[in-house]
């Protein structure tokens, strides 16, 4: 596979004349908006990577006059902090993206679900919201946005758990189907999109999809904001074109001694040094919601794995057995192997358990514990055992 | 323990008495008092005309909706991987030393509660913690003392 190389981009944080872009969007038909987003190839930036244009199209096709656009600002994946920066610096583009989505789907109301850890941002976000509501009133468009707060539960980033939380219940994921586009918030057709997805959609309308498709690869169009942390001399938030290899990424952000990169947070994949060259960061290789953690050779991958399992054990909502019990068993299991209380071959049993969790768990949390588990255990087996 | 007085009724007037009003009401009580008493939850249940078990069942799901007594200032130190790699243990031991409590405990004067939490979205400036709503980042044993002294004076 040919790589695109590493290129810095400035799209998400670029300032634009929001009023002009929105006036343009509101003069388009819903089909025109949806077609432009489809043409751009934009896939959701929250992790799962569902084509945004399709989501809007499905929601638009529903007959119910009451629909919602929900912005997922729960940002709980360990190692992700780009949505906070986007909200902090260009929240007017988040509001703009929601209004455009609203126009495309026929939704008059939007909700933003903001994680409780980001409550300190609220005064400033409300100030900007006030300005925004005034601006769209001037354009003569009817659309309102409200905030709802999280209260420290990672699972509430999962879309159906997030709806439960807004509705005033425990954040326990729902069965799917029905999907949110037919029955989401308050059982109404709903499009739920990540903060960055909404900003990107607005930029696609601003610049035109032809401009946007120049960036990225066939499977991963455009650019993406990365949250970079761990053993790097330059931790922070960087917008990069999609399609680079992990090696190119490490050349730019590593400290010269990188032994592994965890792509996509605790629910993502661990890429070891020997695979840096042939792994593309994007949907054709390792997908990511933006979390990139670098580990150098001084780090114990056992500690990394243990920390992730501890995280999942705490954050599992406990609703279904494979995930609730599975997380605990994986955690206890690696501890036993480490202490020598179980043979190293026991790790194979644990990998099987993680695979079972992938098929038997109800939601993405339980289904993705195996990603980090398998990729760390397979690539750093000795570090787990000794 | 605190007295709710008219608070719950006022919050219900503000946010409404529907099921979806529950989270904003509980969150506002916690913002003011840092935890939920049984009395407060029963009052909320009465206002919203749902059972107290529903209110408790919902609150207990959310880490930040504490149902145990908390101090005036709740410290939550991030224990996820990057903070853990970058010195979270030093931050915790310094806090334990100056507050003379362990993680999970509240000072006898009810000024501080010390807790750990999962990734708070500041990994590029690890280690990080929240005191109530405010994030503090790039912490060291020295800077964390300054932060806490600031709250002692308040
Ligand atoms: C356990 C779990 C946590 C999630 N957390 C988030 C989150 O914090 N932010 C987010 O945008 N999506 C999160 N997602 C993905 C959402 O369910 C959903 O796919 C996403 O918000 C859709 O937006 P997008 O299509 O724009 O990416 C999470 C999924 C799971 C299973
Ligand atoms: S997979 Fe885990 S988090 Fe998801 S519903 Fe089941 S127990 Fe809850
Ligand atoms: S790991 Fe501590 S803030 Fe993310």
Output the pLDDT for position A1.
54
Q: What is the mean pLDDT of residues B94-121?
A: 98
> Within 13 Å, how many C-alpha atoms sit on residue A193's CB side?
30
What residues in chain A have per-residue pLDDT under 70? Answer: 1-2
Query: B73-153 has which CATH code?
Result: 3.40.30.10
pLDDT per position as a tens digit, B10-36: 999 999 999 999 999 999 999 999 999
Output the pLDDT for position B153.
83
Q: Tell which atom from ligand 1 comes closest to the C-alpha of A72.
A: 11
CA distance linking residue A242 with residue A235, whole number of Å: 19
Q: CB distance B81–A165 less than 8 Å?
A: no
Write the residue with the smallest CA distance to atom 1 of ligand 2: A366
Q: Tell which atom from ligand 1 comes closest to the C-alpha of A43.
A: 25
Residue with tokens 């503090």: B136
Contacts of A154 in chain B (CB under 8 A): 118
Query: What token pair was written down for A232?
Result: 């790097």
Contact A121, A84 (CB under 8 A): yes
Question: Which of B103, B116, B123, B129 should we substitute to test contact with A (largest number of A Cβ atoms within 10 Å)?
Answer: B123
**Residue A254: which of A75, A86, A6, A77 has the closest Cα?**
A6
Question: Which of B85, B127, B128, B138 should we substitute to test contact with A (largest number of A Cβ atoms within 10 Å)?
Answer: B85
pLDDT per position as a tens digit, B52-105: 999 999 999 999 999 999 999 999 999 999 999 999 999 999 999 999 999 999
DSSP state of A245: B
Q: Tell which atom from ligand 2 comes closest to the C-alpha of A367.
A: 1
Query: What token pair was written down for A97?
Result: 């993206």
Q: CB distance A154–B120 less than 8 Å?
A: no
- Whether B93 and chain A come into contact, CB under 8 Å, resolves to no
Write the residue with the smallest CA distance to atom 25 of ligand 1: A44
Query: What token pair was written down for B79?
Result: 């224990």
Contacts of B19 in chain A (CB under 8 A): 167-169
Q: What is the ipTM of this complex?
A: 0.98
Domain A223-296 has CATH 3.40.50.1000: no
Q: CB distance A169–B58 less than 8 Å?
A: yes
Q: Is B103 in the pocket of ligand 3 (CB under 6 A)?
A: no
CA of A357 to the centre of ligand 2 (A): 10
Contact A101, A143 (CB under 8 A): no
Residue limits of CATH 3.40.30.10 in chain B: 73-153
Output the pLDDT for position A151.
98
Residue among A164, A324, A353, A370 to mutate when testing ligand 2 (max atoms within 8 A of CB): A324
Question: Which residues in chain A (44-63) have CB-CB distances under 8 A to chain B?
Answer: none
| Domain with residues A18-212, CATH architecture | 3-Layer(aba) Sandwich (3.40)
- Whether A5 and chain B come into contact, CB under 8 Å, resolves to no
CA distance linking residue A78 with residue A109, whole number of Å: 30
Chain B residue with the nearest C-alpha to that of A306: B81
Write the residue with the smallest CA distance to atom 12 of ligand 1: A46
- Whether B58 and chain A come into contact, CB under 8 Å, resolves to yes
Contact A33, A107 (CB under 8 A): no
Does the CA dihedral A117-A118-A120-A123 come out positive or negative?
negative
Compute the nearest-CA separation of B40 from chain A (Å).
Answer: 17
* Bond before A178 cis per omega within 30 degrees: yes
- Domain segments of chain A: what residues? 18-212, 223-296, 301-385
Three-state secondary structure call for residue A161? helix
Q: Is A150 in the pocket of ligand 1 (CB under 6 A)?
A: no
Which residues, in sequence order, are CB contacts of B24 under 8 Å at separation 6+?
A: A148, A149, B11, B15
Q: Nearest CB to A229: which of B61, B65, B126?
A: B126
The residues with which A228 forms a beta bridge, in sequence order, are: A236, A292
Percentage of chain A surpassing pLDDT 90? 97
Query: Given 1.10.357.10, 1.10.10.410, 1.20.1440.230, 3.30.413.10, which CATH number is that of A301-385?
Result: 1.20.1440.230
Contacts of A231 in chain B (CB under 8 A): 85
Q: How far is CA A168 from the centre of its chain?
A: 23
**C-alpha triplet A54, A58, A62: angle, nearest 5°:** 165
CA of A160 to the centre of ligand 2 (A): 11
Q: Is A58 in the pocket of ligand 1 (CB under 6 A)?
A: no
Contacts of B26 in chain A (CB under 8 A): 151
Q: CB distance A168–B22 less than 8 Å?
A: yes
Q: Tell which atom from ligand 2 comes closest to the C-alpha of A173.
A: 5
pLDDT per position as a tens digit, A132-158: 999 999 999 999 999 999 999 999 999
As to burial, measured by CB atoms within 10 angstroms (0-12 exposed, 13-18 middle, 19+ buried), residue A371 is buried
């Amino acid at each position: 596979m040919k790589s695109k190389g590493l290129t810095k981009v400035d799209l998400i944080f670029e300032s634009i004349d929001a009023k002009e872009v929105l006036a343009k969007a509101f003069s388009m038909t819903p089909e025109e908006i949806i077609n432009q987003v489809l043409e751009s190839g934009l896939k959701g930036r929250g992790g799962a990577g569902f084509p945004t244009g399709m989501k809007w199209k499905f929601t638009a096709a529903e007959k119910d006059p009451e629909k919602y656009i929900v912005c997922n600002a729960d940002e709980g994946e360990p190692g992700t902090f780009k949505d906070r920066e986007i909200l902090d610096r260009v929240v007017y583009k988040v509001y703009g993206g929601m209004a455009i989505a609203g126009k495309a789907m026929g939704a008059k109301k939007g909700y933003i679900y903001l994680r409780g850890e980001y409550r300190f941002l609220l005064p400033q976000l409300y100030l900007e919201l006030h300005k925004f509501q005034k601006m769209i009133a001037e354009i003569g468009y009817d659309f309102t946005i409200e905030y709802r707060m999280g209260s420290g539960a990672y699972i509430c980033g999962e879309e159906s758990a997030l709806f439960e939380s807004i509705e005033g219940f425990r954040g326990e994921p729902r069965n799917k189907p029905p999907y949110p586009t037919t029955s989401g918030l308050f059982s109404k057709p709903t499009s739920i999109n990540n903060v960055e997805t909404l900003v990107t959609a607005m930029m696609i309308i601003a610049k035109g999809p032809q401009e946007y498709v120049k960036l990225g690869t066939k499977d991963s169009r455009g650019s993406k904001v990365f949250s970079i942390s761990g053993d790097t001399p330059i931790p922070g938030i960087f917008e990069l074109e999609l399609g680079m290899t992990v090696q190119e990424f490490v050349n730019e952000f590593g400290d010269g001694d990188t032994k592994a990169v965890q792509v996509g947070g605790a629910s993502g994949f661990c890429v070891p040094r020997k695979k840096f060259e042939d792994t593309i960061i994007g949907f054709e290789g390792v997908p990511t919601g933006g979390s990139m953690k670098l580990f150098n050779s001084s780090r114990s991958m056992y500690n990394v794995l243990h920390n992730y399992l501890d995280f999942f054990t705490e954050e599992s909502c406990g609703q279904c057995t494979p995930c609730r019990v599975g997380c605990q068993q994986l955690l206890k299991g690696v501890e036993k192997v480490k202490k020598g209380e179980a043979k190293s071959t026991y790790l194979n049993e644990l990998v099987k358990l993680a695979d079972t969790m992938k098929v038997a768990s109800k939601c993405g949390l339980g289904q993705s514990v195996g990603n980090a588990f398998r990729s760390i255990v397979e690539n750093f087996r000795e570090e787990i055992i000794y | 323990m605190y007295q709710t007085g008219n608070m719950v009724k006022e919050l219900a007037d503000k946010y409404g008495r529907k099921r979806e009003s529950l989270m904003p009401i509980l969150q506002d009580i916690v913002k003011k008092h840092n935890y939920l008493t049984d009395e407060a939850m029963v009052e909320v249940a009465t206002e919203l005309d749902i059972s107290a078990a529903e209110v408790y069942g919902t609150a207990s799901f959310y880490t930040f909706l504490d149902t145990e007594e908390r101090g005036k200032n709740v410290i939550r130190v991030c224990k996820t991987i990057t903070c853990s790699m970058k010195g979270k243990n030093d931050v915790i031991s310094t806090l334990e030393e100056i507050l003379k409590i362990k993680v999970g405990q509240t000072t006898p004067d009810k000024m501080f509660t010390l807790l750990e939490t999962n990734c708070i979205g500041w990994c590029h400036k690890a280690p990080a913690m929240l005191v109530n709503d405010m994030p503090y980042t790039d912490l060291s044993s020295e800077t964390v003392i300054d932060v806490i002294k600031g709250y002692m004076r308040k």
